[in-house]
Amino acid sequence: MEPRTIDTVLFDLDDTLLDDSNAYKRAARRVAEEVAAERGVDADRLFREYVLQANGFWKKLSQEHLTLPIHDARAQLWSDALVASGVPVDAALAERCGERYTRYRAGNLELFPGALDLVIALRAHGCKIGIVSNGFAATHNEKVDRLGLRLHVDAVFLADEMGMVKPDPEIFRLACRTLGSEPECTAMIGDRYDRDIIGAAQVGLFTVLIDVHAIPLPEGARPPDAVVDAIADVLGVLPLRNGQGVPEGVPKRSGA
């Protein structure tokens, strides 16, 4: 049997290509401090309640959540966090928190060091590139554009546009079909075993977990094909047709 080689690479977006945890926590902290100054609530408590609500939302995300506009979802998360922090129900305040949070968060977005270098190097290797995210069109298309990724990817697959959420294996089949690639020649790179790795592995993709959360794999789980500590290490573990490393002639960017 020929050794497998990769000609297509799919990336998760949040906490894989971009440092979303940092962006959203900084935005939530700023909103919490503003509300604290206006309403005299404990900023730390409100911040922690929001993080709890947001984590719960993304953890539970399933197909039925996709019809709720993300704008409304964020206002609801803030409303729940405010109530849990002792603020009486106030729809206008929750709405304002959601709007500010969205604005601050967009201003905090940054790619991980080496992320853009990696995408550029993979394309220089002749790879097609896709982004496969459980995010929403209303927020995640803007992320792709703001971060300058659009020019460097062949297709973007977002949960609400597909009507499916990872780990649904059909998403990975759809991505391969759209990009004209075979699953065994396609890699999926992501930060969540339960979202990014399981479904891709079922379809036969080469899977790479970026272990930023250091969450142990579930008992008896089939391990990813490769595990790395940071996105900058991904190029070294992919079985590329033309060998590993950065091809000649690719300018090395710094501070990306």
Structure tokens, 91:
């729809």
Closest CB to Mg ion among residues 12, 49: 12
Contacts (CB under 5 A) with Mg ion, residues 153-212: 191
**Binding status of residue 19 toward Mg ion by CB under 5 A:** no
**Binding status of residue 117 toward Mg ion by CB under 5 A:** no
**Choice from 10, 11, 15, 47 touching Mg ion (CB under 5 A):** 15
Q: Round to whole Å and give the CA distance between 29 and 27.
A: 5
Closest CB to Mg ion among residues 41, 109: 109
In the bound complex, what is the minimum distance in angstroms from residue 196's beta carbon to Mg ion? 7
In the bound complex, what is the minimum distance in angstroms from residue 231's beta carbon to Mg ion? 11
Q: Round to whole Å and give the CA distance between 191 and 10.
A: 12
* Farthest CA pair distance, the chain: 68
Residues of the chain by 3-state class (helix, strand, coil), percent to 5: 50, 10, 35
Residue 150 and residue 17 in contact, taking contact as beta carbons nearer than 8 Å? no
Stretch that binds Mg ion, among 11-19, 59-67, 111-119, 156-164 (CB under 5 A): 11-19
**Binding status of residue 14 toward Mg ion by CB under 5 A:** yes
**Binding status of residue 12 toward Mg ion by CB under 5 A:** yes
Output DSSP code: residue 226: E
Output DSSP code: residue 114: T
How many residues bind to Mg ion according to rule CB under 5 A? Answer: 4
**Binding status of residue 49 toward Mg ion by CB under 5 A:** no
Q: Round to whole Å and give the CA distance between 247 and 256.
A: 18
Stretch that binds Mg ion, among 6-14, 37-45, 82-90, 213-221 (CB under 5 A): 6-14
In the bound complex, what is the minimum distance in angstroms from residue 135's beta carbon to Mg ion? 9
End-to-end CA distance of the chain: 39
Which residue ranges make up the site for Mg ion (CB under 5 A)? Answer: 12, 14-15, 191
